[in-house]
Amino acid sequence: MTEGLLEGKVAIVTGASSGIGRATALRIAEEGGKVVVADVLADKGKETVEMVVENGGTGFFVETDVSDSEDVREMVRKTVDEYNRLDCAFNNAGIFGDMKPVAKYDEEDFSRILDVNIKGVFLCMKYEIQQMLEQDGGSIVNTSSVWGLVGGEDSSAYIASKHGVIGVTKAAALENADTNIRVNAVCPGVVETAMVEAIPDEISEALIAKEPIGRAGKPEEIAEAVVWLLSDRASFVTGETHVVDGGFTIS
């Protein structure tokens, strides 16, 4: 029997209550990894764990607000208490926010999005890397977006945060290049998630129409890329911005 890509490895997945996070948690378990499901949505997060277990995997849930340093520290501590180590992390938690031009954007809303989307990634990496430095290394993937590579209207906070994810990913990758800790980012295009479903239909339809592949992506398609980046198959890949967008950014 072929060994899974993440056989015996311990992985944290934030934002794992649905969408890309849930799909990735399930794939990690399918590839032999133990999964720590982290999210602010307890019921949905526990549902993800139930799905992991029903499919023969192993995991548990930790209620975590990634913008809160104590929550993130506790997330890592509980992982190590349960499994004695942390090998992989998919820092995926994120929010979209209001669609307004810069001149009308609320300052508190702007700060809230940056707190979750970029400060949250920073905090997760801070405590994940501290643990990985005590071991023999590890692998981290952060969720950016195609909007971390291009501009757009009426989404300045989200776009700024996703550009920031790419920046902090590259910085952490360089800082840890000689420590056997790899850090990469994945940039999904338009994907069938609750976040995209919340966008007005005319906007989401226009975005999908710009996809050369002719459709929105599926969470499972992003999960495949994340699992590969987390695995030893990607052992020479760090600081990479891995685009999975159906050709969106080249059209």
Catalytic residues: 158
The alpha carbon torsion through 178, 184, 160, 74 (nearest 10 deg) reads -80
Between the alpha carbon of residue 235 and those of residues 31, 47, 123, 222, the distances in Å are: 17, 32, 24, 19
Contacts of 105 (CB under 8 A, 6+ apart): 98, 156, 157
What's the rounded Cα separation, in Å, for the pair 77 and 81? Answer: 6
Phi/psi zone of residue 85: left (φ > 0), alpha (ψ -120 to 50 degrees), beta? Answer: beta
